[in-house]
Amino acid sequence: MRELAIVNAQLVDPASGRQGPGALLLRDGAIAEIAWGAAPATGEGVQRVDAGGLIVAPGLVDLRAFLGEPGAEFRETLGTGSQAAAAGGVTTVVCRPDTDPPIDDPAIIDFIKRRARDKAVVNVLPAAALTKGIEGREITEFGLLLEAGAVAFTDGSRAVRNPQVMRRAMIYGRDFDALLMNHLEDPDLRGAGVMNEGEFASRKGLPGIPLEAETVMLERDIRLARATGARYHAAMISCAESVELVRRAKADGVRITCGISINNLTLNENDVGDYRTFCKVSPPLRHEDERLAMVAALAEGVIDVVVSDHDPQDVETKRQPFAEAANGALGIETMLSAALRMVHAGQTDLPTLLAALSTRPAALLGLSCGRLSVGAPADLILLDPDAPYVVDKRKLKSRAKNSPFDEARLDGLVRTTFVAGRVVYEADAV
């Protein structure tokens, strides 16, 4: 591969927190040289990209996205999902295993890897099912699945409700140092609820989901992780009490990390408005006080990662009464620009935000991306953090169109995305 120099850039390295003017030299798909405050020495034949003062940062790593294959290609495919990811600055995606059939067998992991190699423009890593058939009764063969290429274990949008099964998974997973991710919504406590329990739900005449549906299961899992020594990741938390549970568990030495959906970080229950089904998600959008607690926890570092929770849905499953519509929202293409709302509001700084979007999720998976360092993969983005635009669902690259940010005004556009030093996305000229 030819050498490529990105010059006249504002470098942001979330791993070290360093930011400032500089340039990068890319060679053979990796960062070969970093020149802070100057341009790297280059020879003849080096291709130059003038960043024009834009931010150059590591590509994002998304720990949770539904990419459709196998079995739900009408909702999304590895091709369309990866194109949406590239447009949003995401260079590595962990795909959910709750497909049809579920990703609970090494052969299906091999299928995902081969399809991604042929169709995807970004790195796609499969998460394997935590239980066979995602039925919550019997754990999968962690060792064989890890050997085949699984990077984590989860039942996707289904919680593991049986504590004995979760305990066995943690004991088994501990021996492999496997990352176990559980969706925190107790189905019995959720009951028939369809949105956050509270005054707003009552005014809308909709059954509510109590905070305890999340916190009771989280506290159970923390106790099991403490007892077993397993590596546990709370997939998505959404309320202040969960933050306190995680904070105390970390202080006690429990091997726990946690994530949050971009939806719960930037939207609240009022965005449901007049029964907008695009805002029906799991966990549900919470009260504004809970959302602000999530923002503070992210800035503090209690929340480790931000995920898109990208969940494309067919139009027929969303064009329903709110109580009957499917959960799920698009997120991968708008995650970064939505998250930049917090930077523009002064609630956090850019390196802190990018650490939660790239460095920390990469570290959880044992990847060398998510940082600007010599030898790291040249998975990079050129970002214009102040570029305004209005989200038009018809222009999104995802096969589905259920974006909760449709018609919203956002600031921050990815102009170019590189994977292994190759351009996989370029925004249209303004």
| 393 domain-assigned | no
Residues 6+ apart with CB under 8 A from 115: 69, 78
Average pLDDT, the chain: 96
| 69 domain-assigned | yes
The Cα–Cα gap between 9 and 285 comes to 37
Name the CA dihedral angle for 242, 244, 249, 251, rounded to a multiple of 10 degrees.
150
The CATH number linked to 229 is: 3.20.20.140
**Core vs surface per residue 313-348: b (16+ CB within 10 A) or e:** bbeebbeeebbebbbbbbbbbbbbbbbbbbbeeeeb
CB 414 within 8 A of CB 341: no
The Cα–Cα gap between 129 and 99 comes to 10
Residues 6+ apart with CB under 8 A from 72: 66, 99, 100
Q: Give the confidence band of 293 by pLDDT, cuts at 50, 70, 90.
A: very high
- The predicted model gives 137-141 an average pLDDT of 97
CB 338 within 8 A of CB 307: no
Percent of the chain with pLDDT over 90: 96
Q: State pLDDT tens for residues 379-401.
A: 999 999 999 999 999 999 999 99
Classify residue 103 by its DSSP letter: S
Q: State pLDDT tens for residues 80-123.
A: 999 999 999 999 999 999 999 999 999 999 999 999 999 999 99
Q: Give the confidence band of 1 by pLDDT, cuts at 50, 70, 90.
A: low
The Cα–Cα gap between 259 and 246 comes to 11
Give the total number of structural domains in the chain: 1
- Strands 55-58 and 380-390: what pairing? antiparallel
SS3 for 347-410 is CCCHHHHHHHHHHHHHHHCCCCCCCCCCCCECCEEEEEEEEEEECCHHHCCCCCCCCCCCCCEE
Q: State pLDDT tens for residues 32-66.
A: 999 998 777 666 778 889 999 999 999 999 999 99
- The predicted model gives 354-379 an average pLDDT of 97
* Residue 171 pLDDT exceeds 80: yes
Angle at 284 between CA 279 and CA 287, to 5 degrees: 95
| 128 domain-assigned | yes
Q: State pLDDT tens for residues 346-365.
A: 999 999 999 999 999 999 99
The Cα–Cα gap between 324 and 170 comes to 34
Residues in a beta bridge with 425: 417
| 394 domain-assigned | no
Structural domain containing residue 352: 59-364
The pTM score is 0.96
List 309, 379, 384, 406, catalytic entry: 309
Backbone angles phi, psi at 325, to 5 degrees: -70, 155
* Residue 184 pLDDT exceeds 80: yes
The Cα–Cα gap between 103 and 356 comes to 26
Structure confidence at residue 2 (pLDDT): 76
Report the Cα–Cα distance between both ends of the chain, in Å, rounded. Answer: 30
| 121 domain-assigned | yes
Identify whether 309 is a catalytic site residue.
yes
| 391 domain-assigned | no
- The predicted model gives 118-139 an average pLDDT of 98
Backbone angles phi, psi at 344, to 5 degrees: -65, -30
| 26 domain-assigned | no
Considering only the C-alpha atoms of the chain, give the largest distance between any 2 of them, rounded to a whole number of Å: 69
| 112 domain-assigned | yes
